[in-house]
Structure 1
Amino acid sequence: MLHILRTHIRPVLEYASVVWNTGYIDDLRSLEAVQRLWTRHIKDLQNMEYGDRLRQLNLFSVKGRLIRSDLIKCWKIFHSPGPIKPSDLWELSSERRTRGHQLKITVRRCQLDTRSRFFSERVVNEWNALPDSTVTSTSLAEFKSSLLKVLGDRLFDYFV
């Protein structure tokens, strides 16, 4: 069941999530319900709480995976050659007196709720909160490993 979930179900749920993820709680609950139902059918885990099942199976919640995928995409924009440059989406913060890393993004105010849910806006606070050692990782594997340590239990958080 776990193999089927990882190879067939999750890719469908998460395909292009950087584009469609708006962070609406009802949407996240609907997606989480699919994973919740699927993990409930795994032998010996039927009577466990959902959060305990996730930890037992070492699966992140849908909410945690979406945060993680947003941050990975952000790292790729900063560190990988590609068609999207950081200057196309963000303005780097010129403020160097406060804590943070060298790739800190300026937080823009959004007048519309719709705009605040765009990838380029919703990822800013999460990205700025990362430590310098994570943001300046030299490889994607190193970034993912560091991200796992930094986000920790947040990757297992879910909406009830």
Structure 2
Amino acid sequence: MYKIDSAELEKVQRKATKLLPGFKDLGHEDRLHQLQLPSLKYGHQYGDQIQIYRAKKNLEKLSIENYFQPAKVKTTRGHPYKVFKPVTQNRARANFWSIRAIDLWNSLPETVVKAKTLNCYKNRLD
């Protein structure tokens, strides 16, 4: 998602949460916290991570090899399922979920990535 689209969506979210009784004078983050709503950025990242997990575990009808390549360098840090992040030449390609989600996926702890089920993964991701 482009920054301008994200900013517009966040503007709508800010307005909507201010309309609720008792929330007008609170800051945006406080409103989200009290309403137990995630930020838009968190929601996008969360969705991206679930999509990668589903692809890695063959829970999707897509071929994981078309989107991700295993990392070429094996490191002693992190998990063994790290993926290679290709260099992109344009902004549109950099916004594809298969590119933007790699850094966060690679930074996840091994206990999260090795979850046996999707629900277990979601719980550990939170």
Task: Normalising by structure 1, report the TM-score.
Answer: 0.74
Rounded Cα–Cα distance in structure 1 between residues aligned with 2:74 and 2:33: 38
1:114 to partner: Cα distance: 1.7
Contact persistence 1:78–1:85 (CA under 8 A):
no
SS of the equivalent of 1:45 reads coil
Matches within 5 A, 1:69-88: 69-88=47-66
Rounded Cα–Cα distance in structure 1 between residues aligned with 2:46 and 2:35: 18
Work out which structure has the larger RCO, using CA pairs closer than 8 Å and 6 or more positions apart in sequence.
1
1:134 to 109, 112, 115: 112
CA offsets, 1:63-105, max 9 Å, x none?
A: 1101111111111101133321221211111322341212100
1:36 to 10, 14, 21: 14
1:53 to 26, 31, 38: 31
CA offsets, 1:85-140, max 9 Å, x none?
A: 22121111132234121210012111222211111111111110111111111112
Contact persistence 1:70–1:123 (CA under 8 A):
yes
Aligned residue in 1 for 2:81: 103
Aligned residue in 2 for 1:10: none
Rounded Cα–Cα distance in structure 2 between residues aligned with 1:100 and 1:109: 21
Rounded Cα–Cα distance in structure 1 between residues aligned with 2:95 and 2:101: 9
RMSD: 1.3
**Matched residues, number:** 126
SS of the equivalent of 1:142 reads helix
Unaligned runs of 5+ in 2: none
Rounded Cα–Cα distance in structure 2 between residues aligned with 1:60 and 1:121: 22
1:37 to partner: Cα distance: 1.1
Unaligned runs of 5+ in 1: 1-21, 149-160
Higher helix share: 1
